[in-house]
Amino acid sequence: MKTLRKPLAVLLTVVLTLLCAASAFAAAPEDAVPSIYVHGFMGSDILADRNDPDSKVVWGPDMNALLGDVKGALPSLVTSLALKNWERFVDKALEVLEPYFTPAFYADDGTPGNSSGVWFVYPEYVDKNSAVAFRYDWREDPMKSAADLNDFINYVCEQAGVSQVNIHAHSYGGIVLTTYLTLYGNEKVRAAAFDATAVFGEAYTGDLMTGHITIDAQALEDYLKYSFEGSEYSTLIFDLLKTARVSGLTKLLTKLGSELIDAQAERVMRELLLPMFANWLSIWAMLPDKDVDAAMHFVFDELCKDEDRSALREKVEVYNTQIRPYKAETLKALNEKANVYVLSRTGYASIPITPSHANLSDGTVDTMYSSFGATTADYGKQLPESALAGKDPAMISPEKDIDASTCLFPEQTWFLRGAKHAPHYESLDVMIGTLLSSPTQADVNTFEQYPRFLTIDPKTGSLQPAQSSAGDTNSGLAKARSIIDHLRSLFAELKLLLSLIFKK
């Protein structure tokens, strides 16, 4: 027996060593994994036939054709507006718009009303360094999109020979990703970047789905500035807006718009917005939690009280019961297993047709929602001193309109001022790529070039640490800079006007 002890001990040591090595190898993170981009709302074209890649694009609309039709209808629209013949105005507007909107309608049960959809073929080759995009029909049930994402992740992992992937989710894509995580777990996600996502909703979507529509003159001007900021005509447009405001034209148009809404809003909702947006289950998923009950009542019990939409209501309730209550829990669980990054684009007012127009946002998703819970002031204002008292200054934006301490992941959340909701910025893509490729969880202190508060130049797209201009606002230097900037704007505008005149 003694003669066997030594060989057995050696054999046992070897086995244990191999087992430990295998365990360590299995647990070690892969040096590189594929990256999957999950686009947001309206991120893929809707084709007339989802099985035919050569079929007509039915959404997004052909803007040149649409603008041409609007131009043709303009005399009738202007006349109706001047006479305050609201019914005739809406008749003509619907006549122009319906051919562009109808092909994207869903049936009353929340399913495609035709064969329209998104054509998506998996990439033939994927390796561990690949960056691939997941495409899906952004109108459909997020539960279905999450199932499709699960299949795609499995395919990518199998093709690349890896067990995990990195995911960059933008806008509504964050809802698809969170739904996937809730239903299928987080084991296959090594890192995730939530870029301007609507996981916790959009205030204006809640307003519209509860029947709250309004027009504010200042909000309209703010949004037009947002739309043209960074373009070659921005100075000219800004001056025209100022002229319209001073002359009272903006106030007049706002008054007419408000009267139109009071007279015809319900009809427009019934005939255009309801059969499209309310039948898209994705819209219901973008409701803030606080608006869910009111939206269910407004749509199903008021607008559609004489219609059978029980199938749609049932599908909405599935998301409301299986996904919505667990979003924060799902994200926290992901943060325990994977590297998580939250990027909130900010610096603009919200869409100007609802009571939430003053919310600080990226022009679409409110900063408080895309940051997973930051405390924010209204657009153009600061948080009150009482709200800032005792707070860590590092958590407060240079403009004093954002308190990051209330975010779900304060140290893993970045605020990108000047970044609009939709555009891809090369500098931002580089930043997200840097974060996702970090072998360990990075935070706002990891990379010197990427502190918590950043600014994107709307003209160049360059990204840099945010700096406060507070402190020298009333100084002689600040006033001199202001005068110089104003003169530069005037010369640029004169140059633009002269070029347009001489071209003509």
Q: 122-138, pLDDT tens digit by residue?
A: 999 999 999 999 999 99
**pLDDT band at residue 276 using 50, 70 and 90 as cut-offs:** confident
The residue among 370, 344, 335 whose CA lies nearest residue 203 is 370
User: Is residue 270 assigned to a domain?
Assistant: yes
Whether residue 488 is contained in a domain is answered as: no
Cα–Cα distance measured from residue 151 to residue 119, given in angstroms and rounded to the nearest whole number: 16
Domain-embedded: residue 274: yes
Q: What is the mean pLDDT of residues 386-404?
A: 96
The pLDDT value recorded for residue 360 is 96
Start-to-end Cα distance in the chain? 106
Read off the pLDDT of residues 138-158 as tens digits, 9 standing for 90 and up: 999 999 999 999 999 999 999
Residues 245 and 388 in one domain: yes
Is-contact 388 404, C-beta < 8 A?
Answer: no
User: Could you please report the per-residue DSSP string of 244-298?
Assistant: HHHHTHHHHHHHHHHHHHHHHHHHHIIIIIHHHGGG-HHHHHTS-GGGHHHHHII
Do residues 96 and 144 share a domain? no
* Position 472 in a domain: no
Percentage of the chain beyond pLDDT 70 is: 86
Assess whether pLDDT exceeds 70 at residue 426: yes
* Mean predicted confidence (pLDDT) in 238-250: 77
437 shares a domain with 401: yes
- Verify that 290 and 183 share a domain, yes or no: yes
| Full DSSP string of 66-111 | HHHHHHHHHHHHHHHHHHT-HHHHHHHHHHHHHHHHGGG-B-TTSS
**Claim to verify: residue 88 and residue 196 sit in the same structural domain:** no
Whether 15 is covered by a domain: the verdict is: no
Alpha carbons 418 and 458: distance in angstroms, whole number? 6
Task: Identify the three-state secondary structure at position 133.
Answer: strand
Domain annotation covers residue 196: yes
Calculate mean pLDDT across residues 45-71: 89
Summarize the chain as % helix, strand, coil (round to 5): 55, 10, 35
Name the band, by pLDDT with cuts 50, 70 and 90, for residue 255: confident
Residues 113 and 187 placed together within one structural domain of the fold: no
The whole-angstrom distance between residue 96's C-alpha and the CA centroid of its chain comes to 28
Structural domain includes residue 3: no
The count of domains in the chain is: 2
pTM: 0.84
Query: DSSP 3-state assignment of 232?
Result: coil
Average pLDDT taken over every residue of the chain: 85
One domain, residues 110 and 149: no
Give the pLDDT confidence of 317-353 residue by residue, as tens digits: 999 999 999 999 999 999 999 999 999 999 999 988 8
Measure CA 225 to chain center.
19
CB atoms within 10 A of CB 28: 8
Q: What's the token pair of residue 95?
A: 């006549």
Whether residue 113 is found in the same domain as residue 140: no
Per-residue pLDDT of 84-106, as tens digits, reads 888 898 888 888 888 888 888 88
Q: Are residues 65 and 203 in the same domain?
A: no
Residues 229 and 111 in one domain: no
Question: Quick one: 103 and 155 in the same domain?
Answer: no
Give the range of the structural domain holding residue 77, as residue numbers without chain letter. 46-117
Residue 332 domain-assigned?
yes
> Residue 499: what pLDDT?
52
